[in-house]
Amino acid sequence: MTEMTNEATVKPIKSISKIWIIPLVALLIGAWMVYYQWSNQGPLITIEFESAVGLEANKTKIKTRNVDIGDVKSIVLKKESDGVLVTARINKEAEHLMHQDSQFWVVTPRVSINGISGLSTLLSGPYIEVAPGKSLTLSNEFQGLEEPPLTPAGTPGTFITLNSDDEFAYEPGDPIIYKGLTVGKIEDIFFNLEERIVYYNAFIEAPYHQLITENTRFWDVSGVRLDLKSTGVTVKTGNVETLITNGVSFGVPDGMPHGGRIQQRAFFDIYPSYDEASAARFKEEVHYVLMISDTVRGLNVGAPVEYRGLQVGKVIAIDVQSPEREDLLAEGYRIPVLIAVQPGRVGLPDNELGVEQVKAQTSIWLRKGFRAALKTGNLLTGAQFVELQFYDDQEGVEIEHFLNYEVIPTVSDEFTQITHKVTAILDKINDLPLDGFAKDAHDMVREFTETAVEFREASEAFDKLEEDLNTTVLIDGLNETLENVNLLLNDYNAESGAYQSIETTLRSLNRTMNDLKPLLLQLNNKPNSLIFSGDPAAEPQPEGQRGATPNE
Amino acid sequence: MSKYRTALFLACLTLLTACGSAPVEPLRYYTLDDTSPIPSEPENPARIIVFKTLSLAEYLQQSYLAFQTNSHQLHYASQHIWAENLQTTIEKSLLKELNRNNSDILFIKESDPRAKRANEYLSVDIEHFLATNQKNVQLTARYWVNFKKERVSKAAVSNIETPLQDSGYAASVKEMRNLITQFAQEIAQNINDWS
């Protein structure tokens, strides 16, 4: 018999169990999900703020135009502790808004002179608003704004820079006005310590930014401007908004060409008023000095210099300092006043040619009696101005110089002339023979005194006579008499017994008189009837239908 | 001498005879008002009317009784005289008659203190009140009442004649008294009609 052995053949397992397909598929799905999530999430950006007031990680939203585009993921303090870094995840679809010049700020309730904003965040909580920029470069790091920008990035218009070395105090948000319309705002302020000039960055909205040209001038219209100048009183204001805030207006001065539109950020000066802004167009000036012997009270820097009533320049400086300046208390000290004659104002070219023409013409005129004088322009304010004109009684003089400026001789002002005339009158009065007048006046006064004494004596005599009348006793007597009359009248009033008695008596008298009337008539007709009366039986009497009454 | 004495005596005798020749006729005085008691006033009269004025014709404003002898002639009786003012006696008589049989209206004189709060006033104007030669006695009068509240006045005319039964002034005064009674009744009737 053959011995048979049954041995199992062991074969190594060469294939992986199919069961592993399941975790593998799960792994792939998970990886796909991670990839999908990673590939579809937006960028992680970092915004730097000074503080994180109201911001919370995983809660504060990033919004633009009130649409959520991201969430704040973390808030950490900067290493230097001078700010906070806010990390936020931006949605994929908003990734293109993260321009390099995009602006971020925290929206919270704010109350300012420009209005109230962010009231909706009282319930929803603060959020970060994004104003997308225009830069072509995208970025992940931004500098947050502490306050909302007055002009969101991308707003059509023009940025300009205004500067002033005057004492204006504009705030961000103050309006820029053109003919009463608010067309822009002051954005921010920068003070240049070296130049000691305040620069104001401002934005002019479209389409008004087209009004900004090379010859545009800006001037202050803050509040109400009340000018008390030699020309009178003027009141000016910008619009209702500038009544309570500061403001700047602009325009092209009358008579000037508009000039070309500005193509890039331009710098402009802010003038105190339109007049000064308008005057600033005259570039060339010829300076002269007036040596004033009288007072310069009422004369201000900027006061007009007029020739026959037309302004030809302005006062540049009063009491100009010079090395050879005399002591103010020295006798005959003349106050140097620097004035400018502007060729552009007199119709000459506003260039070197015009300057030369003014100098040449003035030199000729000075030899023909051309003089300067201070005149009172406004009696109310006492403001003065410089008037240039010819005086026939003035002879030509050699031209004097002061600090290399030509000196225009001056004549006394009106007040001084009046003073001189008054002095002359007083001198004539002094020449009068006042001694004779005084003697006559003395005699007249003496006679007047004697007359006054007589009048006083007459007055005293009259007073004595008046006292003799003893008015008090007289008045008392009159009062007593009136009282008696009053009592008498009371005794005879309608309800008194005396009145009744009188009335009764009068009635009785009246009746008696009536009774006597027939008797008197009878006596008149027959005088002896009083003695020889007629027959009573002959007197007629009423007859009855039945006859006589027995007792009659 | 004795001759002169005789003549003087005869002259005095003649004068004394002349004085005593006229018969003495006594004056007779008359009054319209009688001595009947004044009628008692109603306790709560509905109306109070003030007898404000009574005016008489000019010829009646004297003491002698007047008698119309013909259409346009009067005679004043020299021996027959009103004992009091005719206006007073008419006023008294008229008031007495007005209040006699009238329990709703009280007529008072103007001197009455209640007159100040009265609102109705009676005025009478007597034009004729005398005996005539037609053997009758005549009363002609106008009267009117002013209603103060309503600011209206109502007026009427009264012509009353009554035959004179007996001759003489005493009989005529008696009939005149009767005329006053009739006149008062007529006034009272008209006032009631007007209200």
Check A539 against B75: CB less than 8 A apart. Answer: yes
Helix (H, G, I), strand (E, B) or coil at A479: helix
DSSP letter for each residue of A362-422: HHHHHTTTEEEEEEES-TTT--EEEEEEE-TTPPP-PPEEETTEEEEPB---HHHHHHHHH
- Tokens coding B103: 């329990």
The answer to whether the CB of A542 falls within 8 A of the CB of B131 is: yes
* Chain B contact set for A543 (CB, 8 A): 133, 135, 164, 167
Q: Which candidate, A78, A65, A73, places its Cα nearest to that of A45? A: A73
CB proximity A532 to B under 8 Å: yes
Output the pLDDT for position B141: 96
Cβ atoms within 10 Å, residue B162: 14
CB proximity A495 to B under 8 Å: no
- Tokens coding A485: 């009359």
* Chain B contact set for A528 (CB, 8 A): none
- Tokens coding A198: 């305040």
More confident residue, A246 or A502: A502
The answer to whether the CB of A317 falls within 8 A of the CB of A338 is: yes
Q: Residue B74's closest chain A neighbor by CA?
A: A540
Output the pLDDT for position A14: 67
Q: Which of A16-20, A513-517, B171-175 has the highest mean pLDDT?
A: B171-175
Return d(Cα A106, Cα A62) in angstroms, integer.
Answer: 9
With 0-12 / 13-18 / 19 or more C-beta atoms within 10 angstroms meaning exposed / middle / buried, residue A376 is middle
CB proximity A539 to B under 8 Å: yes
Output the pLDDT for position B128: 95
Rg (CA), chain B: 24
The answer to whether the CB of A309 falls within 8 A of the CB of A394 is: no
CB proximity A549 to B under 8 Å: yes
CB proximity B134 to A under 8 Å: no
The enclosing H or E element of A24 equals helix A21-40
pLDDT at A50 over 60: yes
Output the pLDDT for position B176: 95
Helix (H, G, I), strand (E, B) or coil at A278: helix
Average pLDDT over residues A22-41: 90
Return d(Cα A106, Cα A111) in angstroms, integer.
Answer: 14
Helix (H, G, I), strand (E, B) or coil at A444: helix
Return d(Cα B60, Cα B71) in angstroms, integer.
Answer: 17
Residue found by looking up tokens 């209603």 in the block: B147
Which of B19, B62, B170 is closest, CB to CB, to A552?
Answer: B170
Q: Best mutation site among A506, A535, A541, A552 for testing chain B: the one with the most B CBs within 10 Å?
A: A541
Return d(Cα A429, Cα A434) in angstroms, integer.
Answer: 9
Which of B79, B85, B131 is closest, CB to CB, to A542?
Answer: B131
Helix (H, G, I), strand (E, B) or coil at A267: strand
pLDDT at A506 over 60: yes
Return d(Cα B187, Cα B195) in angstroms, integer.
Answer: 12
Residue found by looking up tokens 């240049």 in the block: A192
Q: Is the dihedral of CA B93, B98, B99, B100 positive or negative?
A: positive
* Chain B contact set for A540 (CB, 8 A): 67, 69, 75
Q: Residue A541's closest chain B neighbor by CA?
A: B168
Query: With b meaning 16 or more CB within 10 Å and e meaning fewer, what string describes A67-99?
Result: eebbbbeebeeeeeeebbbbebbbbeebeebbb
CB proximity B58 to A under 8 Å: no
Paired strand residues for A191: A198
CB proximity B170 to A under 8 Å: yes
Q: Residue B81's closest chain A neighbor by CA?
A: A515
Each residue's pLDDT tens digit, A348-381: 887 888 888 888 888 888 877 788 888 887 777 7
Check B133 against A548: CB less than 8 A apart. Answer: no
Q: Which candidate, B31, B42, B147, places its Cα nearest to that of B89? A: B31
Q: How many Cα atoms sit within 13 Å of B27 on the Cβ side? A: 9
Each residue's pLDDT tens digit, A235-268: 776 666 666 667 888 888 877 777 788 777 788 8
Output the pLDDT for position B126: 96
B133: left (phi over 0), alpha (psi -120 to 50) or beta: alpha
Please report the number of interchain residue pairs, chain A to chain B, with beta-carbon separation below 8 angstroms. Answer: 88
- Tokens coding A228: 């008390």
Average pLDDT over residues B113-129: 92
pLDDT tier at B183 (50, 70, 90 boundaries)? Answer: very high
Averaged confidence pLDDT in chain A: 81
Return d(Cα A46, Cα A70) in angstroms, integer.
Answer: 12
Each residue's pLDDT tens digit, B56-105: 999 998 888 999 998 899 998 888 989 888 999 999 999 999 998 777 88
- Tokens coding B72: 């346009």
Check A545 against B131: CB less than 8 A apart. Answer: no
pLDDT at A1 over 50: no
Name the least confident of A8-12, A335-339, A355-359, B173-177. Answer: A8-12
Which structural domains are found in chain B, ordered by start?
28-194 (3.40.50.10610)
Give me the amino acid identity at A248: V
CB proximity B13 to A under 8 Å: no
Output the pLDDT for position A547: 65
Each residue's pLDDT tens digit, A53-67: 888 888 888 988 889
Each residue's pLDDT tens digit, A426-472: 888 778 777 787 888 888 988 999 999 999 999 888 888 877 766 67
Q: Which candidate, B135, B188, B113, B194, places its Cα nearest to that of B158? A: B188
CB proximity B64 to A under 8 Å: yes
Check B166 against A544: CB less than 8 A apart. Answer: yes
Return d(Cα A215, Cα A257) in angstroms, integer.
Answer: 7
The answer to whether the CB of A126 falls within 8 A of the CB of A108 is: yes
pLDDT tier at B2 (50, 70, 90 boundaries)? Answer: low
Which of B19, B133, B171 is closest, CB to CB, to A549?
Answer: B171
CB proximity B178 to A under 8 Å: no
CB proximity A547 to B under 8 Å: yes
CB proximity A528 to B under 8 Å: no
Helix (H, G, I), strand (E, B) or coil at A316: strand
Residue found by looking up tokens 């020889």 in the block: A532
The answer to whether the CB of B165 falls within 8 A of the CB of A545 is: yes
Return d(Cα A163, Cα A270) in angstroms, integer.
Answer: 6
The enclosing H or E element of B5 equals helix B2-21
* Chain A contact set for B88 (CB, 8 A): none
The answer to whether the CB of A354 falls within 8 A of the CB of A348 is: yes
Output the pLDDT for position A416: 64
Check A547 against B79: CB less than 8 A apart. Answer: no
Q: Give, to the nearest 10 degrees, the angle between helix B169-194 and helix B86-100.
A: 50
Return d(Cα B126, Cα B93) in angstroms, integer.
Answer: 14
* Chain A contact set for B165 (CB, 8 A): 544-546
Output the pLDDT for position A413: 65
Q: Is the dihedral of CA A132, A135, A137, A143 positive or negative?
A: negative
Where along chain A do its domains lie?
24-143, 157-279, 286-324+332-427, 433-484
Name the least confident of A166-180, A412-426, B9-23, B143-157. Answer: B9-23
The enclosing H or E element of A90 equals strand A84-90
More confident residue, A47 or A13: A47
- What is the pairing mode between strands A103-107 and A181-192? unpaired
Q: How much of chain A, in percent, has pLDDT values that exceed 70?
A: 88
Which of A511, A531, A544 is closest, CB to CB, to B62?
Answer: A511
Strands (E), B115-184: 120-132, 136-147, 152-163
- Tokens coding B139: 């009363």
More confident residue, B4 or A231: B4
Return d(Cα B137, Cα A542) in angstroms, integer.
Answer: 9
CB proximity A2 to B under 8 Å: no
Average pLDDT over residues A531-547: 74
- What is the pairing mode between strands A127-131 and A217-220? unpaired
Helix (H, G, I), strand (E, B) or coil at A523: helix
Q: Best mutation site among A533, A549, A551 for testing chain B: the one with the most B CBs within 10 Å?
A: A549
pLDDT tier at A39 (50, 70, 90 boundaries)? Answer: confident
Q: Is the dihedral of CA A24, A28, A31, A37 positive or negative?
A: negative
Output the pLDDT for position A82: 86
pLDDT at A550 over 80: no
CA A441 centroid distance within chain? 60
Q: In what order do the strands lie in the sheet with A127-131?
A: A103-107, A127-131, A61-64, A67-77, A84-90, A44-49, A141-143
The answer to whether the CB of B66 falls within 8 A of the CB of B74 is: yes
Averaged confidence pLDDT in chain B: 87
Each residue's pLDDT tens digit, A112-144: 666 677 777 777 788 998 888 888 888 889 988
**Residues 6 or more apart whose Cβ sits within 8 Å of residue A219:** A248, A249, A250, A270, A271, A272, A273, A274, A276, A277
Return d(Cα A89, Cα A45) in angstroms, integer.
Answer: 6
Q: How many Cα atoms sit within 13 Å of A472 on the Cβ side? A: 1
Which of B18, B23, B164 is closest, CB to CB, to A542?
Answer: B164
Please report, for chain A, how many H helices and E strands are present, in that order.
Answer: 9, 26
Return d(Cα B64, Cα A286) in angstroms, integer.
Answer: 132
